[in-house]
Copies of this chain bind each other. A is one copy, B any other.
Amino acid sequence: MPATAQSSPRSAQRDLSEAPLLVAARGGRPSRLPVWFMRQAGRSLPEYRALREGVPMLKSCFDPEMLAEITLQPVRRHGVDAAILYSDIVVPLYAAGVDIDIIAGTGPVVAEPVRSAGDVAALPVLDPAQVSAVAEGVGLLVQRLGGTPLIGFAGAPFTLASYLIEGGPSRNYEHTKALMHSEPELWHRLAGRLADMALTFLRAQLDAGADAVQLFDSWAGALSVRDYREFVLPHSAKVLGGLADYDVPRIHFGVGTGELLAVMREAGADVVGVDWRIPLDEAVRRLTAAGGTPPVVQGNLDPALLGASWPVIETEVRRVAAEGRAAAGHIFNLGHGVLPGTDPEVLTRVVELVHSLEP
């Protein structure tokens, strides 16, 4: 595999062994409760909107200076404990040459949906050189981030496949589910190729110095655990397992995955992200019942509640932090991405509150 041949595991990472995020991710005792927000880099920030003006989404993801600056903005503003690489779930597809675009107000749109054996065979392989601009941005970030860890970013095979098969965002994933059940061999071939792509993309980020990764299987919650186990687990495991040699924390997250948490951990996650639908102590119970070492969790304040009054938010933040104590480690986060209308000052205040709590 070209990606692994070029990799030099562990050589690129800075020594951030005391960084609260990395300590918590390894189940240690951090100096403070670490907090960051999914989608912290992006639409909720006026400085982001100013920078992006007139620049198409996918262009901004391949401009090293711009992606580094956008990634840094929320770190500067909120004082969060991690930067998350500014990117998009379809970046590796686009980089490899898939005809895909991100339409404002719609999301990723694929020119030719991938549904036949021929379509899958025609899918290009991602060469690390095609994401060198992203790697360059990561290089700038690790120079500029000081002691703050950088989390690398990729979409998981199922979520990537759903965009390719449906042709864009979907509510019901009907073509995806029909294909995986009716043509399982074709499905596994497609998902396997997307796993390779995600792996190449993440290894490129790690080789450039990223300190952790998060694999987003945003829409996996649309599947039953039976379907997840049969059709998704092997491919997400290939991605997460393929990063083991870097010895960096691997975070795995999807929305509405209360039923899937244990299997998502089984895929090779060191940290399991939890949405707001179940309390973290219940998530810990489910992860523990499945066996293995005590779990580290990430989450899970309902992002919709950031529009509520401050006393409500404060109560919820304290509750989430208290429930997180059931875990071997807790990284405070939202239960899904920051909503575009969120007041950035509220995010800053949440960070201050989280940092004031006993870790």
Which of A's residues lie within 8 Å of B, judged by CB?
A: 172-178, 181-182, 221-226, 256, 258-259, 276-279, 302-305, 307-309, 312, 316, 336, 339, 341
Contacts and interface: CB of A to CB of B under 8 A. Distances in A.
A307 B175 contact: yes
Given A308-B181, A308-B182, A309-B182, A278 B175 contact: no
Given A172-B304, A224-B276, 10 more contacts: A172-B303, A172-B339, A174-B341, A176-B304, A181-B308, A181-B312, A221-B277, A222-B277, A224-B279, A225-B278
A277 B224 contact: yes
Contacts of A307: 174-175, 177-178
- Nearest first, the 9 closest Cβ-Cβ pairs linking A and B are A178-B307, A174-B304, A177-B304, A182-B309, A178-B308, A181-B312, A181-B308, A182-B308, A174-B307
A104 to B, nearest CB: 16
22 contacts: A173-B304, A174-B303, A174-B307, A174-B339, A174-B341, A175-B307, A177-B308, A178-B304, A178-B307, A178-B308, A181-B305, A182-B309, A182-B312, A221-B256, A222-B277, A224-B276, A224-B277, A224-B278, A224-B302, A258-B258, A258-B259, A259-B278
A277 B259 contact: yes
A312 B182 CA distance: 6
A173 B110 CA distance: 28
A221 B277 CA distance: 8
Contacts of A172: 303-304, 336, 339
A225 to B, nearest CB: 8
A305 B224 contact: no
Nearest to A336: B172
Nearest to A303: B172
Contacts of A303: 172, 174
A177 B305 contact: yes
Contact of A305 (B178, B277, B308, B339): B178
Contacts of A222: 277
A277 B259 CA distance: 8
Contacts of A225: 278
A335 to B, nearest CB: 9
A13 B146 CA distance: 73
A235 B176 CA distance: 37
A107 to B, nearest CB: 11
Contacts of A221: 256, 277
Contacts of A178: 304-305, 307-308
Nearest to A335: B224
* Residue from A258, A259, A303, A307 with most neighbouring chain B CB atoms (10 Å): A307
A226 B300 CA distance: 14
B258 A302 contact: no
A306 to B, nearest CB: 8
A177 B341 CA distance: 14
A256 B257 CA distance: 10
A267 B223 CA distance: 27
Contacts of A182: 308-309, 312
A321 B222 CA distance: 21
A127 B172 CA distance: 37
Contact of A226 (B279, B312, B339, B341): B279
